[in-house]
Homo-oligomer: A and B are copies of this chain.
Amino acid sequence: MIHEDDLALMVDLYELAMAQAYWAENMTDTATFSLFFRQLPKNRNFMLACGQQRIVELIETLRFTPQQIEQLKHLNRFQPRFLEWLENFRFSGSIRTVDEGTPVFPQEPLLEIEAPIAEAQVLESLVMNYVHLETVLASKAVRAKLAAGDRPVVDFGMRRMHGLDSAHRGVRAYRLAGLSGTSNVQAGLDFGMNVSGTMAHSFVQAYPDEMEAFKVYARLYPGTTLLVDTYDTRRAVARIVEWLKSDPEAQIGGIRLDSGDLAAEAFDCREILDEAGFTDIKIMASGGLDEYRIASLRERDAPIDGFGVGTAIGAACDAPALELAYKLTEYAGEPKMKNSSGKTSFPGAKQVFRQYDAHGTSCGDVIAGVNEDFGGTPLLKPVMTNGRILPGAIGSLDKQAEHAWREILAMPELQRTIAEAPDYPVSISDYLQQLQADTLAKVSVG
């Protein structure tokens, strides 16, 4: 398994091969690389940019260790003097990023790197892996939260997330996406999320009678949530009510439904609880939930007080990958772009200006050259210069989470629903369009 203090070989081989070629040719001019996507996945009205901070921190300290240099020798591809270059590698460039938790749209750079070309090239695989993971997970989880409205959504996904790194950093992304808690102990502790959890069916089954399991748990964890669907949900809740009435010391905070028609079960359970006067016992639902099921439960006014969501957000099941690209847009002062079929992009270093109307609603973005000015809020901000993180450039997770929800709520209302929304208006500045046409003309004649 990979450690973050030792990850320089988590890299696609061609990055190192290209770096060696640049080194061998003494090509040390400055390149600009831009991280963006060309279209939104199906079922996404925006992507929530996430993961830029961690990768910037890692870039600052990225080193090839002597052990790694030894390992590279086995590939028989690298010259001893290039391996020395790698061993002395210290990123010396500049990075601008949009703040984490910012909604972003096609063609908008999430991050731009400006550095000697070999240095910027070497970072490609890691930058993409980091930003892709957190952006994909945050962008799915935020939809569960948008569907749940004021009801809390808790992450239950660890078991089916793709490996431990995803299960860990994913929780950070969930925090920015507005989730209220996680079942994952380590990630909750590390990222300041409320850690929560109730019981599994196995606990109920281990006892000859489920009431025994409930009583043991309630005694040990006063105010706990009991899982009531192992055998017969309504019968379990009726028996819990009897017990609570007969034992004034018994105290539970909620019940959890994990299967069946969750709305119907919730209505029935609510009725059983309310009739006995237990109006403060909450009902939590889980079991194959995603944003659509949550929305449907809310439309039916199901009396559910909170949602546990696992697999759907854990693997971002309906859009587990984003066609994120890391493209050279400028080298040695020359704008660059490729001309491969169906893959439009724009050359040059860029800025994105988000415009707001009088009510503070964001009403459109302009993607422009880095030296243009269109008013509104420029989204890309310097976070690193000369290889060093700028003081104050990296905010606390609390601040980032606040920023995320402020920006999400500032979007037009349709963008903030889980239904398919009209495209958010993004325009390309005249300058960039002209630069694209000029560059295209140049590369076409080759």
Which residue of chain B lies nearest to A341 when distances are taken between CB atoms in the complex? Answer: B260
Of residues 145 to 176 in A, which have CB atoms within 8 Å of B's CB atoms? 156, 158-170
| Inter-chain contacts of A185 with B (CB < 8 A) | 9-13, 16, 72, 75
Interface centre among A121, A162, A230 (most CB of B within 10 A): A162
Does A246 have its Cβ within 8 Å of any Cβ on chain B? Answer: no
Encoded as 1 (CB less than 8 Å from any B CB) or 0, chain A from 362 to 391 comes to 000000000000000000000000000000
Of residues 167 to 211 in A, which have CB atoms within 8 Å of B's CB atoms? 167-170, 183-189, 195-206, 209-210
Given A163-B129, A169-B1, A341-B259, do A156 and B206 touch, yes or no (CB 8 Å)? no
The answer to whether B446 and A231 touch across the interface, beta carbons within 8 angstroms, is yes
> How many chain-A residues does the 8 Å CB contact rule pick out?
110
The answer to whether A163 and B169 touch across the interface, beta carbons within 8 angstroms, is yes
Question: In the complex this chain forms, how many copies of it are found?
Answer: 2
Which residue of chain B lies nearest to A54 when distances are taken between CB atoms in the complex? Answer: B1
| Inter-chain contacts of A27 with B (CB < 8 A) | 206
Q: Which of A292-300, A332-340, A418-426 contacts B (4 or more CB under 8 A)?
A: A332-340
Q: In the complex the two chains form, what is the Cα distance from A136 to B260 in whole Å?
A: 26
Given A9-B185, A129-B159, A164-B2, do A338 and B205 touch, yes or no (CB 8 Å)? yes
Q: List 30 A-B contacts (CB under 8 A).
A: A9-B185, A10-B167, A10-B185, A13-B188, A14-B198, A15-B197, A17-B197, A25-B216, A31-B202, A74-B189, A125-B158, A125-B184, A129-B160, A129-B163, A129-B167, A159-B324, A159-B326, A161-B162, A162-B315, A202-B336, A205-B336, A205-B443, A229-B341, A231-B443, A231-B444, A258-B340, A259-B342, A311-B323, A315-B315, A315-B321
List chain A positions with a Cβ less than 8 A from chain B: 1-4, 7, 9-18, 20-22, 24-25, 27, 31, 33, 71-72, 74-75, 77, 117, 121, 124-125, 128-129, 132-133, 136-137, 156, 158-170, 183-189, 195-206, 209-210, 216-217, 220-221, 229-232, 235, 258-260, 311, 314-317, 320-324, 326-328, 331, 336-343, 443-444, 446
